[in-house]
Amino acid sequence: MTRPVALVTGGSRGIGLGIARELAAHGFDLAINGLRPPADVQTVLDELAALGAGTRYIRLDVADTGAHDAAIDDVLGCFGRIDALVNNAGVAPSVRADILEMTPESYDRVMAINLRGPLLLSRAVAKRMLELVGAGRIDRGRIINVSSISATVASISRAEYCISKAGVAMATRLLAARLADEGIDVYEVRPGITATDMTAAVSEKYDRLIAEGLTVERRWGTPEDIGRAVAMLASGVLTYATGQVLTIDGGLTMPRL
């Protein structure tokens, strides 16, 4: 129980798996959650174990806030500590629709998974982290919210997604302001265009835009790019910076003439 432990939501695929790999390489044991049956993620757990990590898979829908405490109990029962929470799990709208055509059902689904779930999970984990810090079982806790450049870049065909990520940005600031004096740092990581299952459907569009100079670095981001940023924050390398935003977007949002 001397190794640091990270809980990574949505950690079995995409950006979440990139994060889990980097955390494993930085000496973390890992609890990852998802919706798939445990047998379907065993290969992922074996890969992370080969990197030296102790692993635990927790089948959890982050939108099911009533299940949060049991999931945290599972992590603590397995590892005895939680040093870092990485709120990565998220969804895009099932159908990209103009904001004037957005349905209440789509809005509620995206907000429940992308904002309400992570915020309330952070609250629950923070309370346990405060106990662990007070008991001297961890030096400092860290909460890292994976949002998106869509927190500030408007996409009228994904309004509910943009609004959810803007909410994550404010949740990060609120939690950082509340928890800094009690031993918990809170950060936001904003990925840009990243190659995952979520972006596969629009790959042709972004291949063209990237080639035309949409990003300063003319390539897609990778889950590993995001993972390296999260691992740095979770490891405590960056200090005196709680509440800050780390944008990993290849220069997409950098003002240019």
The pLDDT, as a whole number, for residue 196 is 87
The count of domains in the chain is 1
Single out the residue of 225, 216, 218 nearest to residue 251, CA to CA. 216
Structural element, H or E, at residue 172: helix 159-179
pTM of the model: 0.96
Is residue 257 included in any domain, yes or no?
no
What residues make up the domain containing 11? Answer: 5-248
The predicted model gives 190-214 an average pLDDT of: 90
The predicted model gives 183-196 an average pLDDT of: 96
- Is the confidence at residue 202, as pLDDT, over 90? no
Partners of 185 in the beta sheet? Answer: 142
Query: What CA dihedral angle connects 168, 171, 177 and 179, to 10 degrees?
Result: -100
The pLDDT, as a whole number, for residue 197 is 80
The pLDDT, as a whole number, for residue 154 is 97
Q: What are the pLDDT digits (tens) for 120-132?
A: 999 999 999 999 9
Partners of 187 in the beta sheet? Answer: 144
CATH number of the domain to which 10 belongs = 3.40.50.720
* Known catalytic membership, residue 161: yes
Q: Say how far apart CA 256 and CA 74 lie, in whole Å.
A: 48
Is residue 256 included in any domain, yes or no?
no
Catalytic residue among 57, 107, 161, 206: 161
The pLDDT, as a whole number, for residue 59 is 96
Q: What are the pLDDT digits (tens) for 11-49?
A: 999 999 999 999 999 999 999 999 999 999 999 999 999
Contacts of 114 (CB under 8 A, 6+ apart): 90, 91, 161, 164, 165, 167, 168
Task: Work out the mean pLDDT of the chain and round it to a whole number.
Answer: 96
Q: What is the C-alpha R_g of the chain?
A: 18
Is residue 137 included in any domain, yes or no?
yes
The pLDDT, as a whole number, for residue 199 is 81
- Is the confidence at residue 1, as pLDDT, over 80? no
Higher-confidence residue of 196 and 4: namely: 4
The pLDDT, as a whole number, for residue 60 is 94
**Residue 75: both structure tokens together:** 């992590």
Per the CB < 8 A criterion, the answer to whether 189 and 226 are in contact is yes
The predicted model gives 202-224 an average pLDDT of: 94
Is residue 170 included in any domain, yes or no?
yes
Is residue 253 included in any domain, yes or no?
no
| C-alpha atoms less than 13 angstroms from C-alpha of 133 in its C-beta half-sphere | 19
The predicted model gives 155-168 an average pLDDT of: 97
The predicted model gives 160-168 an average pLDDT of: 98
- Is the confidence at residue 224, as pLDDT, over 80? yes
Tokens 């692993």 label which residue?
Answer: 55
Is residue 255 included in any domain, yes or no?
no
Q: In the chain, what percentage of residues exceed pLDDT 90? A: 96
DSSP assignment of 184-223? EEEEEEEE-SB-SGGGGGGHHHHHHHHHTTSSSS-S-B-H
Is residue 243 included in any domain, yes or no?
yes
Q: What are the pLDDT digits (tens) for 42-98?
A: 999 999 999 999 999 999 999 999 999 999 999 999 999 999 999 999 999 999 999
End-to-end alpha carbon distance in the chain: 52
Q: Say how far apart CA 99 and CA 63 lie, in whole Å.
A: 23
Is residue 157 included in any domain, yes or no?
yes
Q: Is the dihedral of CA 209, 215, 219, 220 positive or negative?
A: negative
The pLDDT, as a whole number, for residue 257 is 87
Single out the residue of 243, 219, 223 nearest to residue 233, CA to CA. 243
